[in-house]
């Protein structure tokens, strides 16, 4: 049984247009199914605005799903009362995409990290508490002597690491990481990724790891799910997907990864056509308006995510044949 089992999840968010128009919804997540095993890292990648953050927040019920099921460790979260949910909160944590707004500006970072320990009564004594806070800050490369500083006194990348320390504090089983290393230079990033991997191995922590950095995802995650306009269009072992992407969107995405060495540049697949909006998703395959190989039925019939024998799945009428 997977640790996290998301089935046909939909999150439709209301938006108000001009006063005279009817209220509409953004189909931020539009039928996503996904599993994460205990101790597994699953990468979630996809176009900016395709619904990754909304999906991550829905898993923790920080935003209410419109439809679908979320089962965590055998319990259906979508049915739980707020009280019962609180008990599970410690076991699922999130590292937010926007570190500045997710830290309380009026609390020192030591207080922010310690707060989680207090809520869940994880530090029996004052000494144990400060020792744990110092250990967490050190593990993400920060000076424990800075625990009494406020968030605005840190650099962007330092704040991002405070968010990671805070999420790890309560020893969760599932960590939803939303762009956790995007503000870090590659050396500090390497240090943090190595730390996350150590925690994964030592304590069996599982990750839903949202990132735009495909090299990091390929390195860190065992499996990968590629999203496009609220849906998963391809999943599989991350190595295999990155080496031989099958969905035309995944192919275009991988071809656009910038390379440091100017000599090893590959041809980029340039996507043309109007970028669709989740306010009015196109009929048929959501990718067809920009797809270089789309044909007739792609414009009318939405392809299902079909599981192949090799543990890979693609939602494309034309892939694999």
Partner 1 sequence: MPLLDIRDLRIDFGSTRVVDGVSLSLAEGGCLALVGESGCGKSVTALSIARLLPTPPARYAAGEIALQGRDVLRMTPAELRAIRGGVVSYVFQEPGASLNPVLRVGAQIRETLRLHRPREAGETEVVRLLKQVGIPAPEQRTRDYPHQLSGGMQQRVMIAMALAAAPKLLVADEPTTALDVTIQAQIIELLAELRRQLGMAILLITHNLGIVGDLADRVAVMYAGQIVEEAATGDLLRRPLHPYTQALLRSAPILGREQDRLEAIPGTVPVPGQWPAGCRFAPRCPMARSECREQVPVLAPCGGDRLVRCPFVET
102 near 130, Cβ under 8 Å?
A: no
C-alpha 257/C-alpha 252 separation (Å) is 9
Q: Return residues touching ligand ATP (CB under 6 A).
A: 13, 15, 26, 28, 48-54, 97, 152-158, 183, 278
- Alpha helices by DSSP H, the chain: 52-59, 82-89, 99-102, 109-119, 126-139, 156-169, 186-203, 214-220, 238-243, 248-255
> Which among 305, 277, 270, 314 is positioned nearest to 291, based on CA atoms?
270
**What is 258-314 written as a DSSP string?**
--SSGGG--------SPPP-TTSPPSSSTTGGG-TT--GGGGTSPPP-EE-TTS-EE
Question: Smallest gap, in angstroms, from Cβ of residue 75 to partner 1?
Answer: 29
Question: Smallest gap, in angstroms, from Cβ of residue 50 to ligand ATP?
Answer: 4
Which of the listed partners (partner 1, Mg ion, ligand ATP, none) does 261 bind, with a CB threshold of 5 to 8 Å by partner kind? partner 1
Bridge partners for 137 per DSSP: none
> Which among 210, 218, 252 is positioned nearest to 236, based on CA atoms?
218
Stretch that binds Mg ion, among 5-13, 83-91, 149-157, 312-320 (CB under 5 A): 149-157
Chain position whose Cβ is nearest to ligand ATP: 157
Question: Of the two residues 169 and 227, which places its CB atom closer to Mg ion in the complex?
Answer: 227
Bridge partners for 10 per DSSP: 30, 67
Question: Of the two residues 84 and 186, which places its CB atom closer to partner 1 in the complex?
Answer: 186
Binding-site string for Mg ion from residue 203 to residue 242, where x marks contact by CB under 5 A and - marks none: ----------------------------------------
Binding-site string for Mg ion from residue 41 to residue 60, where x marks contact by CB under 5 A and - marks none: ------------x-------
Question: Which residue has tokens 């597994």?
Answer: 40
In degrees and rounded to multiples of 5, residue 178 shows phi and psi of -105, 100
Instruction: Work out whether 153 is an interface residue with Mg ion (CB under 5 A).
Output: no
Question: Of the two residues 139 and 173, which places its CB atom closer to partner 1 in the complex?
Answer: 139
Question: Of the two residues 50 and 316, which places its CB atom closer to partner 1 in the complex?
Answer: 50
Instruction: Work out whether 158 is an interface residue with Mg ion (CB under 5 A).
Output: no
Question: Of the two residues 261 and 310, which places its CB atom closer to partner 1 in the complex?
Answer: 261
> Which among 318, 199, 148 is positioned nearest to 248, based on CA atoms?
318
Beta-carbon neighbour count of residue 207 at 10 Å?
25
Question: Of the two residues 143 and 295, which places its CB atom closer to ligand ATP in the complex?
Answer: 143
Which of the listed partners (ligand ATP, partner 1, Mg ion, none) does 243 bind, with a CB threshold of 5 to 8 Å by partner kind? partner 1
Question: Smallest gap, in angstroms, from Cβ of residue 102 to Mg ion?
Answer: 13
C-alpha 32/C-alpha 10 separation (Å) is 7
Question: Of the two residues 259 and 307, which places its CB atom closer to partner 1 in the complex?
Answer: 259
Question: Smallest gap, in angstroms, from Cβ of residue 247 to ligand ATP?
Answer: 17
Question: Smallest gap, in angstroms, from Cβ of residue 201 to ligand ATP?
Answer: 27
Which of the listed partners (partner 1, ligand ATP, Mg ion, none) does 166 bind, with a CB threshold of 5 to 8 Å by partner kind? none
Burial class (CB in 10 A: 0-12, 13-18, 19+), 321: exposed
DSSP 8-state code for residue 173: S
Question: Smallest gap, in angstroms, from Cβ of residue 13 to ligand ATP?
Answer: 4
Please report, as ranges, the residues that interact with Mg ion according to CB under 5 A: 53, 97, 155-156
């Amino acid at each position: 049984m997977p640790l996290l089992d998301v089935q046909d999840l939909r999150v439709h968010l209301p938006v108000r247009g001009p006063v005279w128009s009817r209220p509409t919804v953004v189909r931020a997540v539009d039928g996503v199914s996904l599993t994460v095993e205990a101790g597994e890292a699953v990468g979630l990648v996809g176009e900016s605005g395709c619904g990754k953050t909304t999906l991550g927040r829905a898993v923790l019920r920080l935003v209410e799903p419109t439809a679908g099921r979320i089962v965590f460790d055998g319990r259906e979260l979508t049915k739980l009362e707020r009280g019962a949910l609180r008990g599970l909160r410690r076991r699922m944590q999130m590292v937010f995409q926007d570190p500045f707004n997710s830290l309380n500006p009026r609390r020192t970072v030591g207080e922010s990290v310690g707060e989680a320990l207090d809520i869940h009564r994880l530090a029996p004594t004052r000494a144990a508490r400060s020792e744990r806070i110092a250990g967490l800050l050190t593990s993400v490369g920060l000076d424990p002597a800075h625990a009494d500083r406020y968030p605005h006194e840190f650099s962007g990348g330092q704040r991002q690491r405070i968010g990671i320390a805070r999420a790890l504090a309560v020893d969760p089983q599932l960590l939803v990481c939303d762009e956790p290393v995007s503000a870090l230079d590659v050396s500090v990033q390497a240090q943090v990724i190595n730390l996350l991997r150590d925690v994964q191995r030592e304590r069996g922590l599982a990750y839903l790891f949202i990132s735009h950095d495909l090299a990091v995802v390929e390195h860190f995650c065992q499996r990968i799910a590629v999203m496009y306009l609220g849906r998963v269009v391809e999943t599989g072992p991350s190595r295999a997907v990155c080496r031989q992407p099958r969905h035309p969107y995944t192919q275009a995405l991988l071809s656009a990864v910038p390379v440091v060495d100017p000599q090893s540049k590959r041809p980029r697949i340039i996507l043309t056509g109007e970028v669709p909006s989740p306010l009015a998703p196109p009929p048929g395959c959501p990718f067809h308006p920009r797809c270089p190989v789309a044909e007739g039925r792609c414009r009318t019939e939405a392809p299902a995510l079909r599981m192949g024998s090799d543990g890979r799945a693609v939602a494309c009428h034309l892939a694999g044949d």
